[in-house]
Structure 1
Amino acid sequence: MTTMMRAEIAEQPAALRATLDALLPRVEEIRALAGRTRQLLFVARGTSDNAAVYGRYLIEARAGRLCSLAAPSIATTYRRRVDLDGVLAVALSQSGRTEEIVETLAWARDCGARTVAITNGGPESPLAAAADLALCTEAGEEKAVPATKTYTTQLAALAVLALGLGAEVDAGDLDRVPDALARLIDRPGDLDAVVEGLAEVTGVVVSGRGMAFSTALETALKLKEACYLHAMGLSYADLLHGPIAVVDELTPALLVAAGAGPTLAGTVALARRVTGAGARAYGVGGGTELAGAATAALNGPDLPEWVAPMGLIVPGQLLTEALARRRGLDPDSPRGLNKVTQTG
């Protein structure tokens, strides 16, 4: 039986094409809105927060603007006013109906920020209505509880946002992304071997750095949500500061990297350290270098580092769906979760 999650993973190439077609013509609108701002504040929770981590690395590394992640409780619980003059506040919510995120974006605007919404909820959603500019993704309805196509289209929207902020990248790279995802869906690599390697464990460490850090966080979240694993998402720099002690023969590592870029060598070195200590290291992306150092590996996209995260998450999604079924779980409806999460 094909799960809804698996079907929606397969819809991502089309969803990305539709989103890019809708948003790329709006680069000048972004540039005009952001012209008087100097830094960015991302407002998000859950999967959207992981997408924001990608936005932060991309915009700081390629557009040279300082970014930070908001603490919504400052607005919604402490109700403290903060001077946000010169700030571009970017709120991400797949549904556009998460009250905390809508309230925090309205707070940011009241504090002097220019505001952008990134949502799959459409222009009539509360979040879009609260923003100066709404970048609405074109993922279509997502029925499975674990986010797949709504996440990758958020990354696409953030890439377009980066273009509007003057990122030093080749915009033509975005044209390659949908086909790269389609190839990964057809040829994910050693999926069966990685599924079997994780089938009986209770925990896994998922690690990456830089642009790939968002993928590590999102993959860990998916493994928690749908497979009920104690999955820890960490930058490999943080992992090496102490938590690597938990990686052993019972707790493998899942290591994520683009096929090229400044963090690849460190990821490969970490894989060798893990396997050299007698533990298992499973690669995601990283080309032949990471695959050669890993116990088994999932393929990554043939894409430049700045757009690679849109493809790198696909093997993690496929792994989550297959591993959930292998463990006798329904990936479409994890216990205790709903599509729209409200926080008190």
Structure 2
Amino acid sequence: MTTKMRSEIAEQPAALRATLDSLLPRVDEVKALGERTRQLLFIARGTSDNAAVYGRYLVESRAGRLAALAAPSVATTYRRRLDLDGVLAVAISQSGRTEEIVETLAWARDCGAATVGITNGGPDSPLAQAADVALCTVAGEEKAVPATKTYTTQLAALAVLALGLGAEVDAADLQRVPDAVEELIANPGDLDAVVEGLADKHGAVVSARGLAFSTALETALKLKEACYLHAMGLSYADLLHGPIAVVDAETPAVLVAAENSPTLAGTVALAERVVAAGAAAYTIGGGATLAKAGTAALNGPDLPEWVAPMGLIVPGQLLTEALARRLGVDPDAPRGLNKVTQTD
């Protein structure tokens, strides 16, 4: 039986095409906001927060703008007013109905920020209504609790945002993403070996750096929420500062990198170190170089680094869905989770 999660993973190429067709013509709207702002503040929770990590690395590394991740409790709990003049506040919410995120975006506007909302909830959602510019993704209804197509289309919206902010990239790269995702769904690599390698483990470390760091965080979140695996998402720079001590025969590593990234060499070195220590290193992306250094490999996309995270997450999604089924867990409805989460 095909799970809803697996079906929605398969819908991502179409969702990405529809989202890019809808949002690329709106680059000038973002540009107009960018011309009166200097830095960015990303507002999000959960999976959307992992998307925001991609957005932060993207606008800092390619558009040269300082960016930060908001602490919504400053607005909603401490109710502290900040000077946000010159700030572009970008709120990200799959549903567009998470009250904390909508409230924090309204707070940012009241503090002087220009505002963008990224949501799959449509133009009538509270988040879209609260934003100066609403970038609505076109993923369609997502029925499985773990976000898949809503996440990758959020990344697409953030790539469009970066274009509007003057990112030094080739916009044509975005048009290659749906085909690359389609290819990964058809050929994710040695999925069975990675599933079997994790099936009897209680924990794992998922690590990357730079633009791929968002993929490590999102893969770890998926393994936690749908497979109940104690998965830690860490920058490999932070991992090397001490937590690498937890990586052993019972706690494998999942290492992620884009093939043409300046972080690839460090990821390869980490894979070699993990294997030399007697632990398994399962790799996602990084081409033949990273695959050779690890224990078993999942493929990455043939894409430039700035758009690679839209493809790199797909093998992680497929791994999560397959591992959940292997463990007898329903990936569509993990225990204790709802599609829309409200926080105080």
Q: Provide the residue aligned with 2:336 in structure 1.
A: 336
Q: Provide the residue aligned with 1:106 in structure 2.
A: 106
Residue type matched to 1:309 in 2?
Answer: P
Q: Provide the residue aligned with 1:291 in structure 2.
A: 291
Q: Provide the residue aligned with 2:35 in structure 1.
A: 35
Deviations 1:272-320 (A, max 9, x none): 0000111100000000000000000000000000000000000000000
In 1, distance between residues paired with 2:109 and 2:254? Answer: 40
In 1, distance between residues paired with 2:193 and 2:292? Answer: 15
Residue type matched to 1:94 in 2?
Answer: Q
Q: Provide the residue aligned with 1:48 in structure 2.
A: 48
In 1, distance between residues paired with 2:257 and 2:180? Answer: 16
2:216 maps to 1:216: yes
Q: Give the secondary-structure state (helix, strand or coil) at the position aligned to 1:135.
A: strand
In 1, distance between residues paired with 2:288 and 2:55? Answer: 27
After superposition, residues 1-344 of structure 1 pair within 5 angstroms as 1-344=1-344
1:262: Cα distance to partner? 0.3
Q: Give the secondary-structure state (helix, strand or coil) at the position aligned to 1:231.
A: strand
In 1, distance between residues paired with 2:299 and 2:34? Answer: 37
In 2, distance between residues paired with 1:102 and 1:61? Answer: 28
1:153: Cα distance to partner? 0.1
1:34: Cα distance to partner? 1.7
Q: Give the secondary-structure state (helix, strand or coil) at the position aligned to 2:216.
A: helix
* CA-based RMSD: 0.3
In 2, distance between residues paired with 1:261 and 1:316? Answer: 19
Residue type matched to 1:82 in 2?
Answer: L
Aligned-residue sequence identity (percent) comes to 84
In 2, distance between residues paired with 1:118 and 1:157? Answer: 7
1:267: Cα distance to partner? 0.2
In 1, distance between residues paired with 2:188 and 2:148? Answer: 16
Residue type matched to 1:158 in 2?
Answer: L
Residue type matched to 1:247 in 2?
Answer: V
1:136: Cα distance to partner? 0.1
1:38: Cα distance to partner? 0.3
In 2, distance between residues paired with 1:140 and 1:35? Answer: 32
In 2, distance between residues paired with 1:22 and 1:145? Answer: 25
1:260: Cα distance to partner? 1.1
1:113: Cα distance to partner? 0.1
Residue type matched to 2:266 in 1?
Answer: G
TM-score between the two structures when normalised by the length of structure 1:
1.00
Residue type matched to 1:142 in 2?
Answer: E
In 1, distance between residues paired with 2:188 and 2:36? Answer: 44
In 1, distance between residues paired with 2:96 and 2:81? Answer: 23
In 2, distance between residues paired with 1:268 and 1:95? Answer: 37
In 2, distance between residues paired with 1:93 and 1:28? Answer: 22
Residue type matched to 1:175 in 2?
Answer: Q
Q: Give the secondary-structure state (helix, strand or coil) at the position aligned to 1:206.
A: strand
Gaps of 5+ in 2: none
In 2, distance between residues paired with 1:161 and 1:168? Answer: 12
Residue type matched to 1:148 in 2?
Answer: T
Residue type matched to 2:339 in 1?
Answer: K
After superposing on structure 2, the runs of 4+ consecutive aligned residues of structure 1 that deviate more than 6 Å are: none
In 2, distance between residues paired with 1:277 and 1:44? Answer: 37
In 2, distance between residues paired with 1:95 and 1:120? Answer: 6
Residue type matched to 1:74 in 2?
Answer: V
Residue type matched to 2:14 in 1?
Answer: A
Q: Give the secondary-structure state (helix, strand or coil) at the position aligned to 2:96.
A: coil
In 2, distance between residues paired with 1:276 and 1:29? Answer: 51
Residue type matched to 1:197 in 2?
Answer: G
Gaps of 5+ in 1: none
In 1, distance between residues paired with 2:136 and 2:79? Answer: 28
Q: Give the secondary-structure state (helix, strand or coil) at the position aligned to 1:272.
A: helix
In 2, distance between residues paired with 1:341 and 1:261? Answer: 35
Deviations 1:31-54 (A, max 9, x none): 012211000000000000000000
In 2, distance between residues paired with 1:328 and 1:260? Answer: 37
TM-score between the two structures when normalised by the length of structure 2:
1.00
Q: Give the secondary-structure state (helix, strand or coil) at the position aligned to 2:88.
A: strand
1:261: Cα distance to partner? 1.2
In 2, distance between residues paired with 1:149 and 1:309? Answer: 13
Task: Please identify, of 98-107 and 32-41, the stretch whose mean Cα deviation from structure 2 is larger.
Answer: 32-41
Q: Give the secondary-structure state (helix, strand or coil) at the position aligned to 1:342.
A: coil
Residue type matched to 1:90 in 2?
Answer: V
In 2, distance between residues paired with 1:245 and 1:239? Answer: 9
